[in-house]
């Protein structure tokens, strides 16, 4: 949890970002992507013990507020993306959340909620998710598996969590120890397929757990490689004039400062490309 504060402090020091507190997402909006009973039981602290265990955090009022703000932050960033080309949430990217259950530190799937919210308001028809967290975006993949208007790309470590993978529109599985060059080549091959789909908005789950120092990652990327990755994703969105919403995703380096620095680089790259 320490990385969130560190990241905000790093970006505040840069002096080129405007921060806003994330509003709490409305439960009715969350229910556009999630089962209503699951949403209600989580908010009321009534989920069964096994369901809480699968999420991985103990339930508390503070967790409820944090979770609602995390989804609200992505919704706010989505509005910013339509206004200025990009928006960012210094949280979110909770891609292991399914329709009626959470897992892997994810309660609600902020990206899926944002996409369903835009579609419910007829703001868009087609959306794409570029999920470069080292773990497969299994919740997002399953939530949109039967939806031809939402393309999901997940590029992840093959041998890593989740051990039962779901089917994204495009899955790219990487071997343990994958380095910058192989990683970037795989990304270069995948990105044109995303933009050929002609999405009206792209959600970028920019997890930095492919970093070599990550304790849950298994890949071997450097900070330079990750920044290059972010640069390629954002340059492609910019060139195609597709708004992009950046959410944080995972990062568990030891020491955690390495993760905070990598997340900060993602937002610095965005600021450079979009300003
Ligand atoms: Zn992850």
pLDDT in tens, 222-255: 999 999 999 999 999 999 999 999 999 999 999 9
Distance 196 CA to ligand 1 centre (A): 27
| Catalytic residue (one of 96, 135, 156, 263) | 96
Spell out the residues 6+ positions from residue 133 whose beta carbon is closer than 8 angstroms to its own. 93, 95, 154, 156, 205, 206, 207, 209, 249, 250
Q: What is the structure's pLDDT at 90? A: 98
Distance between CA atoms of 72 and 261, rounded to whole angstroms? 24
User: What pLDDT does residue 1 have?
Assistant: 86
Kindly state the average pLDDT of the residues 6-21.
96
Contact in structure between 73 and 81 (CB atoms under 8 Å):
no
Question: What is the spatial distance between Cα 211 and Cα 258, in angstroms, rounded to a whole number?
Answer: 9
Q: What percent of the chain clears pLDDT 90, i.e. is strictly above it? A: 99
Please state, in angstroms and rounded to a whole number, the distance separating the CA atoms of residues 219 and 250.
13
Residue 40 has a pLDDT of 98
Mean pLDDT, range 83-102, rounded to an integer: 98
Under 8 Å between Cβ of 123 and 132: no
CA of 134 to the centre of ligand 1 (A): 5
In this structure, what token pair is assigned to residue 237? 């969105």
Distance 212 CA to ligand 1 centre (A): 13
Tell me the CA–centroid distance for residue 162 and ligand 1, in Å. 10
Integer Cα distance of 220 and 232 in angstroms = 19
Computed on alpha carbons and rounded to an integer, the radius of gyration of the chain in Å comes to: 17
Question: Which two structure tokens, joined as six digits, stand for 178?
Answer: 């994958």
Residue 122 CA, ligand 1 centroid: distance in Å: 31
d(CA 246, CA 68): 17
pLDDT higher than threshold 90 for residue 205:
yes
CA–CA–CA angle 91, 94, 99 (5° rounding): 140
- Is the sign of the CA dihedral 80, 86, 91, 95 positive or negative? positive
- DSSP E strands in 29-91: the ranges are 86-88
Q: Please state, rounded to an integer, the average pLDDT across all residues of the chain.
A: 97
Q: Which residue reads 């995303």 in tokens? A: 194
pLDDT of residue 275: 86
The CA 193 to ligand 1 mean position distance, Å, reads: 23
Tens digits of residue pLDDT in 133-165: 999 999 999 999 999 999 999 999 999 999 999
Dist CA 204 CA 219 (whole Å) = 19
pTM over 0.95: yes
The mean pLDDT of 172-191, rounded to a whole number, is 98
* Average confidence (pLDDT) over 183-194: 98
The answer on pLDDT for 66 being more than 90 is yes
Whether residue 191 contacts residue 233, with contact meaning beta carbons closer than 8 Å, is answered with yes
CA of 159 to the centre of ligand 1 (A): 13
Residue 218 C-alpha to ligand 1 middle, in angstroms? 11
**Is 96 designated active site?**
yes
């Amino acid at each position: 949890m320490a990385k969130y504060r560190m990241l905000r402090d790093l970006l505040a020091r840069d002096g080129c970002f405007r921060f806003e507190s994330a509003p709490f997402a409305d439960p009715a909006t969350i229910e556009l992507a999630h089962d209503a009973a699951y949403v209600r039981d989580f908010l009321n602290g009534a989920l069964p013990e096994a369901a809480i265990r699968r999420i991985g955090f103990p339930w508390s009022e503070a967790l409820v507020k944090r979770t609602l703000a995390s989804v609200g932050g992505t919704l706010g960033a989505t509005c910013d993306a339509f206004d200025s080309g990009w928006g960012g949430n210094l949280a979110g990217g909770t891609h292991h959340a399914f329709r009626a259950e959470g897992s892997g530190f994810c309660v609600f799937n902020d990206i899926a909620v944002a996409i369903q919210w835009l579609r419910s308001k007829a703001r868009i028809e087609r959306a794409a998710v570029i999920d470069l967290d080292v773990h497969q975006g299994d919740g997002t993949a399953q939530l949109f598996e039967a939806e031809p208007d939402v393309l999901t790309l997940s590029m992840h470590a093959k041998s890593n969590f989740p051990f039962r993978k779901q089917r994204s529109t495009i899955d790219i599985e990487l071997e343990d120890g994958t380095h910058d060059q192989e990683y970037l080549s795989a990304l270069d091959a995948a990105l044109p397929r995303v933009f050929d789909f002609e999405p009206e908005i792209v959600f970028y789950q920019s997890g930095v757990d492919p970093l070599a120092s990550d304790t849950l990652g298994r890949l071997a990327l450097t900070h330079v490689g990750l920044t290059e990755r972010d640069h390629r994703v954002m340059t492609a969105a910019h060139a195609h004039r597709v708004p992009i919403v950046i959410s944080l995703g995972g990062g568990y380096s030891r020491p955690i400062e390495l993760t905070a620095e990598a997340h900060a680089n993602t937002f610095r790259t965005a600021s450079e490309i979009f300003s």
